Structure 1
Amino acid sequence: MPLGQSSVRPVPTGRTDRARPGAPARRGDTRRRPASGGVRAERLAPYVLVGPAVAVVVLLRLYPLVLGVNFSFTGDGERNGTTVGLDNYLELFRDPLFRTALGNVGLLVLLLPVAVAIPGLLATFIHLRTPGHRFYRSVYFFPAVLSPVIVGAIFNLLLAYDGPLNAVLGGVGLSPVDWLGDPDVAMVTVVGVHVWATFGMGLVVFLAGFATLDSALLDAARVDGASLTQTIRHVIVPGLSRTIQFVTVTTMIGMLTSMFGLLYVMTAGGPEGSTYLPEYYIWIQQGQLNRPALASAASTVLFLIMLVVGLAQISLLRRAGKET
């Protein structure tokens, strides 16, 4: 090579080692690219949206629940603020009124299938477009918008011993019934009024469930000549299993926590304490007898009852849906 001539070869103009913008990465290039701001925002969005709801549940539901359970182990009156262990719970189960309230919870569990079947059957008839179904839909929902106080006052007049219902019974040769004064009848009467006043909400939920039911299954059942009973059992019930679970649990919760207004107006816990429910017992202890610790213990027992009954109902309904 002659002296003074450069030994460095020029780089070809058609090639470059620097990647062009938009060009695909070479094989074997395992360098990680930093996550963009858009990807981070996408990942954080669900937590940001759910965060306020979780905070509300924790602050307004779980925290007061923990405080209530803790307060149930303290005393009332002279022992206010002192730890008493399980004394409040032992006193609860020695109280005949609370035992009556627990017995009425068992009655509610027995009547629950009727309370769920009524809106379910009515929703079935409406979905199958029976004559006048539009009118019935509005009429059936109307009681749900009435206040429990108004409903209780109306039925106090209808169910009075000298009221219209007993007059009708007397007209057909039957003896009058003391609907609200007989301890053996009063609780069933109040539950029946509650079911009448609230089944409209269950009806709406069932109608929403029917909107998700495959209409081809109903058409196939008609073509195969299935009766209404067979259609309900083999097509509608399996197709609405989740809806039935939801209505069952919410109806039971409503019976345990939303009957105070009716009980207060119609019977005030009587006769002879036969219409007591845990909810009404809690109000008596807290609002009239000024025993908040005992009321907290009763509230804890009510919460455990609702939890156990709800889980048991869901388990039974799931098992029944699999068998069907």
Structure 2
Amino acid sequence: MDPVPRRATRRRNAERLAPYVLVAPAVLVVVVLRLYPLVLGVNFSFTGDGDSDGTAVGLDNYVTLMGDPLFVGALRNVGLLVALLPVAVAIPGLLATFIYLRVPGHRIFRSVYFFPAVLSPVIVGAIFTLLLAFDGPLNALLGSVGLGPVDWLGDPDVAIFMVVGVHVWATFGMALVVFLAGFATLDTSLLDAARIDGAALPRIIWHVIVPGLSRTIQFVFVTTMIGMLTSMFGLLYVMTSGGPGGATYLPEYYIWIQQGQLNRPALASAAATVLFLVMVVVGLLQVSVLRRSGRED
């Protein structure tokens, strides 16, 4: 056999295998550090705690969760987070739009907006706990203009909104960077045509920028949702510790309480499994709705 075709065949085979070889380490890390622990956690959720440790108990842990007012309240708060998600995405999206359109001072705003993202959640929580205290500076400012003090972190109807608001403030810088990267793929000729036609800024945003950034918006929606459901523990722990009366409980805080304080790892695994399923379902629904609206536009 001619050695030249043989070398060409080996080269083609190597080129076909190259992508798989390059991806293999990342896939291995995901399987070993993500998927395998996930499977173990789901399996562990069907076992018991305490005297029944390691014993199969079927769906008992899930029945216990559904009968626990704290966990039910945590799921209710998840619904609130999903309802507030468009606001959490719209804020960095609008700010990125203004920066992209080069409003005066846009370079300074780019740095200022990203700064909170580098702060530790514990530091952010400590700062806002002082600001929002009943005798803190915010209530002092309200008192100076004749408005009564508000128990920002002690009122069950207000506390969860404060924690979510602080989380959005502390994390929207990352979404802002993603939006700015998405603007690099936007067709500038469409913006120029809209300006020439005299379109107002709201119409430019709705009819040009939003359709052009549909994939970026989908990505930010999903990542922001995941961040809300899995990255608020530090703020909750410092600002409210789940209170008042469990009003600011979220599944991740409930999981920590069951695992870290009450030593009920199987129940915590069941709660983690429910949280994972909620994220998957909500994420798929969001992507489906956004894709459908993108096709309609």
Short-chain TM bin: over 0.9
For 2:219 and 2:37, the matched residues in 1 are separated by 25
Partner in structure 1 of residue 33 of structure 2: 60
Equivalences for residues 197-216 of structure 1 within 5 A: 197-216=170-189
Q: 1:83 pairs with 56, 64, 76, which one? A: 56
Q: Distance in 2 between matches of 1:235 and 1:217?
A: 7
Q: Greater helix percent: which structure?
A: 2
Report the counterpart of residue 246 of structure 2 in structure 1. 273
- 1:120 matched to 2:77: no
Q: Partner of 1:40 in structure 2?
A: 13
| Paired residue total | 295
For the residue of structure 1 that corresponds to 2:199, the secondary structure is coil
Alignment of 1:246-285 (within 5 A): 246-285=219-258
After superposition, what is the alpha-carbon deviation per residue over 1:21-42, rounded to whole angstroms, capped at 9, x for unaligned? x9xxxxxxxxx97853222211
Aligned letter for 2:65?
L
Cα deviation code 1:57-113 (max 9, x no counterpart): 111111111110000000000001110000000000000000000000000011100
Structure 2 Cα separation of the partners of residues 137 and 44 of structure 1:
42
Residue 304 of structure 1 is matched in structure 2 by 277
Residues in 1 aligned to 2:63 and 2:198: alpha-carbon distance in whole angstroms: 59
Instruction: Give the counterpart of 2:123 among 129, 139, 150.
Output: 150
Q: Does 1:314 pair with 2:274?
A: no
CA displacement, residues 155-199 of structure 1 (integer Å, 9 cap, x when unaligned): 011101111111111122211110000011000000000000000
Q: Quote the Cα distance in structure 1 between the aligned partners of 2:269 and 2:115.
A: 35
- Aligned position for 2:163: 190
**In 2, Cα distance between the equivalents of 1:43 and 1:135?**
47
| 1:8 equivalent in structure 2 | none
Q: Distance in 1 between matches of 2:145 and 2:295?
A: 47
Match of 1:165, SS state, is helix
Larger radius of gyration, structure 1 or 2? 1
Partner AA of 2:256 in structure 1: W
CA–CA separation in structure 1 for the residues paired with 2:200 and 2:223 = 30
Counterparts in 2 of 1:134-149, with a 5 A limit?
134-149=107-122
CA distance in 1, matches of 2:294, 2:157: 35
Q: Deviations over 1:88-141 (max 9, x none)?
A: 000000000000000000000111000000000000000000000000000000
The CA distance in 2 between the partners of 1:218 and 1:175, in whole Å, is 47
Between the aligned partners of 2:144 and 2:80, the Cα distance in structure 1 is 31
- Identity among equivalent positions (%) equals 80
Unaligned runs of 5+ in 1: 1-18, 23-31
Structure 2 CA distance for aligned equivalents of residues 260 and 165 of structure 1? 24
Quick one: distance in 2 between partners of 1:235 and 1:306? Answer: 30
1:240 to 213, 218, 222: 213
| Residues 296/223 of structure 1: CA separation in 2 closer, same or farther (3 Å cut) | same
2:261 aligned partner, one-letter code: Q
Cα separation, 2, equivalents of 1:43 and 1:103: 49
Gap regions ≥5 residues in structure 2:
none
Q: What secondary structure, in the 3-state scheme, does the structure 2 residue paired with 1:184 have? A: helix
Inter-partner Cα distance in structure 2 for 1:193 and 1:217 = 36
Distance 1:139 1:33, change over 3 A: closer
Query: TM-score w.r.t. structure 1 length?
Result: 0.89
* Structure 1 counterpart of 2:132: 159
Separation in 2 of the partners of 1:248 and 1:59? 27
Name 2:67's counterpart in structure 1. Answer: 94
Partner Cα separation in structure 2 for residue 54 and residue 134 of structure 1? 38
Compute the TM-score of the two structures, normalised by the length of structure 2: 0.97
Secondary structure of the residue aligned to 2:93 is: helix
| Counterpart code for 2:237 | Y
SS, match of residue 319 in structure 1: helix
Equivalent position SS for 1:185: helix
